[in-house]
Amino acid sequence: MFFDTHTHLDYLQQTTGETLENLVQNAKQADVQKILIVAVSQQNFKIIEKITALYPNQFYYGLGLHPLYIQQHTESDLELLNQRLANRPRHFTAVAEIGLERAIPELLEDSLWRKQCDFLEAQLQFAKQYALPVNLHSRQSHDQLFSFLKRIQLSKCGVIHGFSGSYEQAKRFVDLGYKIGVGGTITYNRANKTRQTIAKLPLDCLLLETDSPDMPIYGYQGQPNRPERIVQVFEHLCNLRKESADIIQHRIWDNSVALFANI
């Protein structure tokens, strides 16, 4: 069984035009039994809540304000998120997707970078207050993100989503108690640094994810990514690890359920 711990299933449905039932059926045929759906802005909140309610045995969700959209986020969005957290149903299991973005120059302009940091700080404090894990975006920002996480120590920590970086960077997060999200990056031979990192890390700190419809798997470039393609990520992971496929699958399932489905 697989748990896709990071998807934008609402965007996948919009991109492909498929019914939600069809997306769920395709995932289940690949033994993807559980899926976490994460938000990027307050505009996603209601649709993600509705989608999750339709499939309570398969879906969990996180609400958060993504740094890529920092220009549109407002203080009232933070207030809305806090209200949702205070009255959350049992399948609302993460503050997600949140983090820092340093790969886009315009988002590093002084006022926007300060706003990124302020919104991350606020959302980490929410996660601490409500004892929820976080699902973290970190692009060219591992050092800055680490400083926040070290200072604001969460009880449930969370995952560095779509990790791409060195073993040393990953180990610092792991030592704080965070998981590392393993996705489509490891299906590309050119991603040697990340592949070597994932091969060396403790199995107990790894989760599988697709980031559907983003982060395409090798061989499917240009196509929307889908939860069922987590199987290819798993196969590549097994090729990188010394443990048996059965041990890897069970350990990662347990890691994922403990973090995002322990309700």
pLDDT digits (tens, 9 = 90+) for 6-38: 999 999 999 999 999 999 999 999 999 999 999
Mean per-residue pLDDT, 71-90: 98
Mean per-residue pLDDT, 68-74: 98
Integer Cα distance of 36 and 255 in angstroms: 14
Mean per-residue pLDDT, 187-198: 96
Alpha helices in the chain (DSSP H): 9-16, 20-29, 42-54, 75-86, 110-130, 142-151, 167-176, 192-200, 230-240, 245-260
Mean per-residue pLDDT, 239-250: 98
Delimit the domains of the chain by residue range: 2-260
Please tell me the predicted confidence (pLDDT) of residue 163. 95
Integer Cα distance of 24 and 196 in angstroms: 33
Please tell me the predicted confidence (pLDDT) of residue 262. 79
Q: Is 151 helix (H, G, I), strand (E, B) or coil?
A: helix
pLDDT cut 70: percent of the chain above it = 100
CA atoms within 13 A on the CB side of 128: 13
Give tens-digit pLDDT for 88-131.
999 999 999 999 999 999 999 999 999 999 999 999 999 999 99
CA atoms within 13 A on the CB side of 124: 23
- The mean predicted confidence, pLDDT, of the chain is 97
Cis peptide upstream of residue 213 (ω within 30 degrees of 0):
yes
Please tell me the predicted confidence (pLDDT) of residue 263. 63
Contact yes or no for 174/204 (Cβ under 8 A): no
The amino acid at 155: S
**Domain 2-260 carries which CATH code?**
3.20.20.140
pTM over 0.75: yes
Q: What is the DSSP annotation of 161-214?
A: TT--S-HHHHHHHHHHT-EEEE-GGGGSTT-HHHHHHHHHS-GGGEEE---BTS
Integer Cα distance of 260 and 11 in angstroms: 21
Please tell me the predicted confidence (pLDDT) of residue 57. 93
Give tens-digit pLDDT for 199-221.
999 999 999 999 999 999 999 99
Mean per-residue pLDDT, 155-167: 95
Contact residues for 252 (Cβ-Cβ < 8 A; gap 6+): 3, 203, 206, 207, 208
